[in-house]
Structures are given as C-alpha cells and as structure tokens.
Amino acid sequence: MQPVNQSYMLCLFPGSFRENLSPLKLRLLPNPEGLDYSSLYWKLRGPNDTYYVNHDELCSKRGLYFYSFSDTTLESLDIHIDIMLEKGDSSSSCCIVGQCALVSSEFMDTKGLIRRPIVSKDIAIVGEVVFEYLIVRPWVTGLKDIRECLDTIPKLSYTSPLLVGHRGKGAHSKSYVQENTLLSFLSATHDKRVKFIELDVQLSADGQPIVFHDFLITRKTQQLDLDDMDTRKIERFPTIAVGSLSLKEFQRMAIYREGAQVTFYDSDHETREGNGYHLRSKASHGGRRGGRSHSNSSSRSSSITSDLSGIASHRSSDSDRDEMEEFPSLIEDHLPSLYEVLTKMPVEVGFFLEMKYPCPEYQQRKKLVVPDRNVFVDAVLDCVCKSFVEKKQRTIVFLSFDPDICYLLKCKQKYFEVLLLCSETRFSSDDHFDVRTTTIENAVKWSIYHKLDGMAILSDILFEKSDIVSELKCNGLKVFCFGAINSQEDKAKKLIELGVDGLIADNVTCLAKKLSEIL
C-alpha cells in the first residue's frame, strides 16, 4: 500500500519566478485601440480540471500562485488554453481571441519555462503565453507495511520553545567538533534540553542521501615534481562538487578547514570501528589559521561514551570556548550517510532535515550537475522510511530554501512537517531572483497559500518585522528562526518573547544552560 495519492500533478505558474515576464502578450487584435485587458479571460482545461481566470487576477498572481492539473498518467496531462474577450454589449457574451495547447510530452523535464504562441481562428499568431511549470511525480516506495510505520510517527510537539542544534554542535567555525557528524550530533544532544538537530542533506552521485553542507569542496592532491632538475614542489587544490562523488568516495574524505583542504584516504585507511564511526583529532600549531594540522589516529574511540568523554577532555567544565568565534583545534569524525544517522542516533533525538538544492544561477556558475527535484525528494523519503522500518520511528521535520522542494515534500506525503527557509537576499548563497523568496512578505504569502506547516526565518528579519510571527501563527503556521545571533542570550530571549516556536543555533548546549530558567 502506498502512503499517498498516486497521481501525477502539473503545476502551471503564470509568467516566470525569475524573469519579469508577463503571462500574456497580445498583438494583431481586431480593434486593438478599444481593447480593455480587464475584460480578458483565460480558460485553462486539463484532464480533470478547468479554470476560468480574469487576466488581471492571473497577472497579479505571478510567482506566488498556480493552477494544478492531475491524472494517473503523465501522458494525459495535455492542457488547452483559450484567451477570451468579454464583449461590452448587453449580451455579456465572449469571443475567443486565440488558443494554444501544452502537450504532456513537453514536460519530460519536471521543471522549466514554457512559451506558446496564441493562434486565432484564421491561424494568425496574435500573441504569446508564458508559464513556469513543475511536475510532481508520485512517490512510489517498495517498502512493505510502510503505512503502518508512517501512521505511528511521533509528531512535533512541545510545551516550550525548542532548541535545535545547528549542524549538531554548531557550524565549523563555532564548534570544536566537526559539523554534520554523528559525534557533533551526540555532543549537542548530550544536554537533555536539546532534543532536535538540524542537518544538511544532499544526494551523492549514486543516489544516496548524504549529510554535508557545502556543494563544493577542495581536494588536496599529492605534491608533484615540476621536473627532474627542479626540487620545488607544487600542490594542486581542484574543486569538486560533492554531488559528483559516490557514497564510498564521499566517506573517504577527511576534512580540515585550513585552506578548505580535503584529503582522500585510501579505502583501507582508517577503517571504521564496530560502532559505525571513528574519531580523528586535529591539533593545530599556532592556532587554526597558523601552522599545520596533524592527524592523531590513536584518538579514535570505540564507544559513544568514550567519544563524549573525549569531547569533555578538550574543555573544562566552566570553559567559555562555546563563546569563541574560532577554535584552535577540530575533532573530526566519519562523514555519515543520512541512513547511518537515522539508524545510529538515539530515537529520542528528532531531526530537522534541510534539503540542500542550489539555485539555478549557482548551478550554472559552478557548472554543477544536480538531481531532478523529484528524484532527490523520493530518495530522501525512501531513506527515512527505510530507517523507520528497520528501527523505531523518530520525529522528522523537512525544510528547504527551495520553494519547489517544499511543495514536492508537501504533495508527496502527509506525515512529516515541511518548513520554508527564508533569509531574503542577505547572503551570497541566497537565490536573488526567485520572487517567492526575495522578500519575506512573498515568502510568507507563498507558505500560507500552499499550506506549508511553517517557516524558518533569519532572526535579523524577525527583529526588523516582528509582526511576521503573529501573521504566520494566525494562519496556523509554526515559526522557527536561525542565524548567528541566536547564540546570544539576550537575542534568544527576545526571540522567545516574540513567540517563535524554536531556535536553530550554534553552541546549543551553552545556550541551553543560559536559557534553563525559561525552557
């Protein structure tokens, strides 16, 4: 039995999210001087749905709303569009200005921009329509008894605001433990007040969900002789897309942040212990930015308890190292797959899974090859459900900066909550062209209209526009926040006063101690 409705869905968005394109351009009309665009109507007909839309209404919805058509097969999703003009006389009749059609075979790429000429009855081209489209493919899992597992998933529930560990203990410059690793997750949730972890999910080249933040890494190659007569050495640091690595290649990496260098170990080097991961400690001479790092393989641990003890040995009980901007040493750990995380972490720990997907401009600039969004979402859902079948269920929340990823997750399943991430265009990694997320106002409208479960918003925005919290909550959506200032006690308390449901923060164990009286 499949978990959701097994229909294909075609979503048509008027105009374009990324370009200032009008959904409709008309020309060569009879009596163009007297044309009133407010009297234009669209009739969109699909296999099971028909929409009559006023032209002004359709243009005002550019980028935020869409029209959906569904059927059990993708081949049936042909769309007919009539452009009609309402006559001004008392008859209240309409005449057809022109027509066009969208054929299902054009939607083999599940997302794109489509332009079609509008043709009159005498086969004259009288204009053009523009739509951005998204195909939602049904999520089909081969797992048995999946419905029974999904029906028993623990839901997101709390009586006080949640503290969520950002990439575990914290981002790489905020923690002495390597981000997005089992050791980082364990060290963050060692404090019982921290029950949730935020982590980043991408897809490897062989289709396996992996836990890693950056889309690109820099690989350090061996030193090369320039020639037989030259004793100098050179080192090359070619950039590699994480998504171009297989799971096996990805897990051979050992990362150290000085110069963003990455070492690839041979497959027989540093084999994992029985607990599924190992620990490598990097000590730095003269600080992180100073000297050279050295691996200490003897620091590997054979149990979760000893790993956590090892963390404690790197700081005193009253240490202020959680406050540091940079750390002089980094405790490394095995780079995990998502499946490893879900099956090895205690089931009491819930996860906020950020679905990482680069915006089109970044894809083009870095020449990234990315998976189809449907493939990505299905692979992660399969991985989560497989872990549920083989081990007890835990609370899972999905979130993404990509609105289409959020919508796919919402359409394909009804068991996990979905949040839209938004920081407007305040960081270079943000999508600076998608009108759905370039402003917080549009992001809020989009999330409400498409019935997402909530949003995770950059905290700076909430301080500037605090009414956003009440607007979302009045519409039944949850509000989480993220950002560097979340680790500051006074800012965290103010955000809680604003009514947020939770904070995603670095140094989350330190923050939990500071907020112990109000949590």
For residues 127 and 227, membership in a common domain is answered with no
Mean pLDDT, rounded, for 282-304: 38
| Of the candidates 337, 327, 385, 83, the residue with the CA atom closest to the CA atom of residue 207 | 337
What confidence tier does 277 reach under pLDDT thresholds 50, 70, 90? very low
For residues 124 and 189, membership in a common domain is answered with no
Q: What are the structure tokens assigned to 168, written together?
A: 């575990």
Q: Which domain holds residue 80?
A: 8-136
- Residue 65, phi then psi, degrees to nearest 5: -125, 170
Does 1 reside within a domain?
no
pLDDT for 237 beyond 70: no
Task: Give the CATH number of the domain where residue 65 resides.
Answer: 2.60.40.150
Question: 3-class SS at 335?
Answer: coil
For residues 209 and 303, membership in a common domain is answered with yes
Summarize pLDDT for 455-509 with one digit per residue, the tens.
999 999 999 999 999 999 999 999 999 999 999 999 999 999 999 999 999 999 9
Does 323 reside within a domain?
yes
Cβ-defined contacts of 293-296 (< 8 Å, 24+): 293/256, 293/258, 293/330, 295/254
For residues 196 and 228, membership in a common domain is answered with yes
Does 32 reside within a domain?
yes
For residues 115 and 190, membership in a common domain is answered with no
Task: Give the CATH number of the domain where residue 495 resides.
Answer: 3.20.20.190
Does 197 reside within a domain?
yes
Q: Which of 136, 155, 183 is a domain's end point?
A: 136
Which range among 3-12, 131-140, 436-445 shows the weakest confidence by mean pLDDT? 3-12
Predicted local confidence at residue 39, as pLDDT: 81
What confidence tier does 297 reach under pLDDT thresholds 50, 70, 90? very low
For residues 94 and 190, membership in a common domain is answered with no
pTM of the model: 0.84
Does 448 reside within a domain?
yes
For residues 388 and 268, membership in a common domain is answered with yes
226 vs 412, residue with greater confidence: 412
For residues 229 and 313, membership in a common domain is answered with yes
Nearest-angstrom CA–CA distance, 238 and 243:
15
For residues 127 and 155, membership in a common domain is answered with no
210 vs 305, residue with greater confidence: 210
Does 196 reside within a domain?
yes
Q: Which of 136, 157, 182 is a domain's end point?
A: 136
**Which residues fall within 8 angstroms of residue 100, CB to CB, at 6 or more apart?**
81, 116, 117, 118, 119, 129
Does 78 reside within a domain?
yes
For residues 194 and 121, membership in a common domain is answered with no
- The CA radius of gyration of the chain, in Å to the nearest whole number, is 26
**Which residues fall within 8 angstroms of residue 236, CB to CB, at 6 or more apart?**
220, 221, 224
Q: Are 418 and 440 in contact (CB under 8 A)?
A: no
Predicted local confidence at residue 64, as pLDDT: 78
For residues 56 and 197, membership in a common domain is answered with no
Q: Which of 136, 168, 185 is a domain's end point?
A: 136
| C-alpha pair distances (Å), 328 with each of 179, 247, 311, 321 | 15, 30, 14, 10
Which range among 108-112, 184-188, 252-256, 510-514 shows the weakest confidence by mean pLDDT? 252-256
